[in-house]
Amino acid sequence: MTLQLRNTLSRQVEPVAPIEPGGPVRIYTCGPTVYRYAHVGNLRTFLLADLIRRVILYHGVPVLHVKNITDVGHMRDERLDTGGDRMLVQAELEGRSPSQIADYYEAAFHADEALLTILPAHRFPRATEHIAEMVELAEQLQDAGLAYMAPDGTLYFDVSGDPLYGRLSRNSLLELRAGHRAAVEAGKRDAADFALWKRAEAGRIVKWSTDRWGEGFPGWHLECSAMSRRYLGDEFELHTGGVDNVFPHHEDEIAQSLGATGTIPARHWAHGEFLLMDGHKMAKSAGNLQRVTDVVEGGIDPLAFRYLALTARYRHRLEYSDASLASAAAGLTSLRSALRGLAPPPSEGPWAAPAVLHASVASDRPVGLVDHASGHGSEGAAAFDLRDRAHTREPALSPAGQALHDRFVSAVDDDLDMPKALGVVRAMLRAGLTDDERRWLVLDADMILGLDLHRVWEPPVDQRRLPDGAAALLHERALARQRADYARADELREALRAMEVEPIDGTDGEPAWRPTSG
């Protein structure tokens, strides 16, 4: 058994395995554009990468996960967005610099992921720190005759140089041209051509100087090709994102990477479907954005949203509403109650609790590479016992227990059939097995579910009190974030973690907290 995922490129369900025997599965995830808060629809997409990573680790295979941070709003597709630079517009609205806007919303993103026990990536490269790689890639494409300079100073990728353009989205160039209703930009040879580099207009704040094209800024798609190539190589195992990334972003990413390296960057492309509210995609323009902190402020455990996401296949649309969230919260509560009724696991012996894959909390602005299964935030933690749990025979399970274990593994390996996997976990709790075996099976499965089920024997959060001095530190940290002093905010977060307090950064800036996962 091994993880099988639908590959958007081939339209087939295919195994995910290291290209190099014994090597890691390298995953690139299109991360957030940090000019606003991430909403729960965004987070459902990031949950997809988290589940994939957990299943691969469950099989004892190492993972190297890179998730980019788009910290410049103008890295967008000019065919879809004719508005102003998002980062600059937001900076003006909030009276901050573009870099302060990026730092603030990136910090909120890492905190939001932690609320859903999403494993932080091993590396979070930022677009603004990789302009040199983008310029080099664009120069390669121009030198190869795959890009041309328009009279206005825009460097365009020439899609006619890629006869299979549209391979990912199944769009043909003829269909793309027919569907392009707006006037084609002056100097652009084909409506489907896309920008690699744009000349900076007068007064633009965020721009870079190049020897070849003068001052300007990169196109949206160039970012991911340049950074995935730097950190994962010309070809890696898996690229993830939302269905809205298929076209044009991932399509154009493939075209430019293939033009520069001669190979499609990822062998496998996995895309998650939309989260809907009242039948509509969650979006700022629809006015239906919900943050995971809104869930917390509504008195609901944020992991109820993770549970809700597990009730649907990732390739199916999922309805988000007060009713669906309440139903998920009830399901999570009943699961925890049934497990709690089995009594805590022994501290040692064959039925001791399996090692927990902790989703540590990344710092507000994580830097560098972290070589730990849990990714950023796990610095200093004991190494995780990476072994093949899918085929383990320790402890010695009964025939019925082994059958349940195998059914669970079969479900998660089958293109992440998480609804079926949840059903198997329920069956584990009802099975006529010893309490020890039932408890061990469920806790073992939670390495993939990520519901922090090992915490069910701890006192409820609302019965815990803040340690002495923690309230003052929470308040000071909220003030530091308001004045964009993220270095001080990081120091205060570490001080709070030492007190087993994890701050939660809400929209209103009011200090909130939860116990650390230790």
Beta bridge partners of 28: 66, 239
Q: In the β-sheet with 236-242, what is the strand arrangement from edge to edge?
A: 63-67, 25-29, 236-242, 266-272
Residue 94 in this model has a pLDDT that exceeds 60: yes
Do the Cβ atoms of 190 and 158 come closer than 8 Å? yes
Q: Average pLDDT, stretch 72-76?
A: 53
What secondary structure does DSSP assign to 334-376, as a single string?
A: HHHHHHHTT-PPPSSSTTSPPPP---PPPPSS--S---STT-T
Using pLDDT thresholds of 50, 70 and 90, give the confidence band for residue 518.
very low
Q: What residues contact residue 452 under an 8 Å CB cut-off, 6+ apart?
A: 117, 303, 446, 517
The 8-class DSSP code of residue 185 comes to P
| Extents of the domains making up the chain | 4-272, 277-354+389-455, 461-515
Domain 277-354+389-455 fold is Isoleucyl-tRNA Synthetase; Domain 1 (1.10.730)
**pTM for this entry:** 0.89
- Among 99-103, 135-139, 290-294, 380-384, top mean pLDDT goes to 135-139
**Is residue 150 a contact partner of residue 156, using CB atoms and an 8 Å limit?**
yes
Lowest mean pLDDT among 200-214, 414-428, 482-496: 482-496
Task: Tell whether the model's pLDDT for residue 182 goes beyond 90.
Answer: no
Within 137-235, strands assigned E span: 147-149, 155-157, 194-199, 208-210, 214-218
At 197-251, the pLDDT tens digits run: 999 988 888 899 999 999 999 998 999 999 999 999 999 999 999 999 999 999 9
Closest CA to 193 of 213, 215, 177, 212: 177
CATH number of 4-272: 3.40.50.620
Rounded Cα distance, 473 and 477, in Å: 6
pLDDT at 55: 98
pLDDT exceeds 50 at position 80: no
What is the distance between the alpha carbons of residues 324 and 282, in angstroms, rounded to a whole number? 15
Total length of the chain: 518
DSSP designation for 187: T
Residue range 467-475: mean pLDDT, rounded: 84
At residue 204, the pLDDT reads 83
Distance of alpha carbon 56 from alpha carbon 390, whole angstroms: 10
pLDDT tier, 493 (very low <50, low <70, confident <90, very high otherwise): confident
Q: Measuring CA to CA, which residue among 295, 332, 349 is closest to residue 453?
A: 332
Beta strands in 16-90 (DSSP E): 25-29, 63-67
